[in-house]
Amino acid sequence: MQQVGRGDAPSETGREDMRKQRIVGISFEHAHMGDLLREAHEHPNAEIVGICDPDGARMADAIKTFAISPDRVFHDIERCVREAKPDLAILCPATARHADCVEAVAPLGVDILLEKPFAASLADADRILAAVGKAGVRLAVNWPLRWYAPHVTAKRMIDEGAIGDLIEVHFYDGNRGPLYHRADKVVVSEEEVRREKPTSWWYKRSAGGGSLLDYLGYGATLGTWFMKGEAPLEVTSVVDQPEGLEVDEHSITICRYRRGLSKLETRWGAFTDPWIARTTIIAMDSWVWIPFMVILLLAGLQALPLDVKEAAKVDGANAWQTFWEITFPLMLPVSLTAIILRTIFELKLADIVINVTAGGPGGATDTISSFVYREYRDRSNVGYATTVAEVYLIIIIIIFITLLLKVASRYMQKMT
């Protein structure tokens, strides 16, 4: 998160520190408004005191989800701030309207959390800084990647010199497309996307649409952070603008530093399709565990007594009969061990999902274990995550005991 403006002002009384922070959401053009309002709604020391957008339809989901009363719904920014008296205003307008929105809110004396990216142009960024500076309010840009544990750990290791000198930064990020999900990663159908695409601001150049403005800020911010504020000597950016669109869906930016070249790449579509993402997770998981399973089964095969196979050959058994009547039964204990181990690993699969896709796009690659982890860590839904984990454990125990009893029953029948 980037922050500019005045320093932290101490509270006048202890009571001031304990009261809930009053939050308003202004402009619902960006879907992240729903996610940010949920954070406020679920925080014990925050409350949503108002929402505002000239288009009432854009606020409908938030009104229903957070049970916002009609007297807290506004269509005029100044009236919203005057009546709701917020401590913080969350702004999620189209990228090209960031400066306009900040200039409308800052003079009203409210601290601002502005959705990324900071601005659509350098001129707009200067306008934003001038507005908050003149009003004396604080401005933070919503860069959640700053708080992700892998990024924080990487930064710490760079600063400590634990991984040597940083030479290059390579960033690749994107999603299936900005219209494929709503707040809370609710997935949207292909038909809805086709219907909304012609009129959506995401696909309008004048509104600041395109994958570059949507995602390059992440790479630029992380790169600058990792480079300890060093500015590149030269920046070259190339975009792919599909026929019939005003904006890009794929961009590659090369930053030339004194120490070498860094690459920042953004993309909508292709590699973030749910089916491709799922296939990728399956392939990576298979790559990790198939060698172990092969070694385990190979060890079992090599331990089989050769005299039994030789006797079968003498008796005239062909290859298939030898496998089915001798090899398979003798390998059954090893095979069951391999299956049990593989099942255990799959039931707790989370690390690959968390580090590669974070469950996306739209939860398409989530496993139960990764879902529980993200609910606990990312959303702080401790109770909900704990309940899901316990129910998951109970189901596993029931299934395991049922299978165990069936196997034991068959074994006893054979013994008798």
More confident residue, 295 or 150: 295
Within a 13 Å sphere around the CA of 241, how many CA atoms are in the beta-carbon half? Answer: 11
| pLDDT given at position 42 | 92
Residue 252 pLDDT > 90, yes or no? yes
Contact 310, 323 (CB under 8 A): no
Integer CA distances (angstroms), 13 to 10, 157, 175, in order: 9, 40, 46
| pLDDT given at position 9 | 47
What would the pLDDT profile of 395-407 be if each residue is shown by its tens digit? 999 998 998 888 7
Integer CA distances (angstroms), 121 to 98, 113, 185, 208, 289, in order: 10, 19, 28, 9, 48
Per the prediction, the chain carries an average pLDDT of: 88
Residue 24 pLDDT > 80, yes or no? yes
Of 60-64, 66-70, 177-181, 396-400, give the lowest mean pLDDT range: 177-181
Q: How large a percentage of the chain has pLDDT more than 90?
A: 56
Residue 184 pLDDT > 90, yes or no? no
Angle at 207 between CA 91 and CA 246, to 5 degrees: 145
56 band by pLDDT with thresholds 50, 70 and 90: very high
The edge-to-edge listing of strands for the beta sheet with 234-240 is 170-175, 260-268, 250-257, 234-240
The conformation of residue 380, written as its DSSP 8-state character, comes to -
Domain extent listing, the chain: 2-142, 147-270, 274-415
Rg of the chain over Cα atoms, rounded to whole angstroms, equals 28
Closest of 206, 207, 215 to residue 249, by C-alpha: 215
| C-alpha–C-alpha distance, residues 262 and 14, integer Å | 48
| pLDDT given at position 247 | 95
Phi first, then psi: give them for residue 81, nearest 5 degrees.
-70, -40
CATH architecture of 2-142: 3-Layer(aba) Sandwich (3.40)
Tell me if the pTM is above 0.85.
no
Residue 10 pLDDT > 70, yes or no? no
What would the pLDDT profile of 264-290 be if each residue is shown by its tens digit? 999 888 555 667 788 888 999 999 999
Integer CA distances (angstroms), 310 to 190, 306, 313, in order: 61, 6, 5
- Per the document, the length of the chain is 416
Of 309-313, 329-333, 360-364, give the lowest mean pLDDT range: 360-364
144 band by pLDDT with thresholds 50, 70 and 90: confident
193 band by pLDDT with thresholds 50, 70 and 90: confident
Pick the CATH number of 147-270 from 3.30.360.10, 3.10.129.10, 2.40.160.100, 3.40.50.800: 3.30.360.10
Within a 13 Å sphere around the CA of 387, how many CA atoms are in the beta-carbon half? Answer: 4
Tell me the CATH class for 274-415: mainly alpha
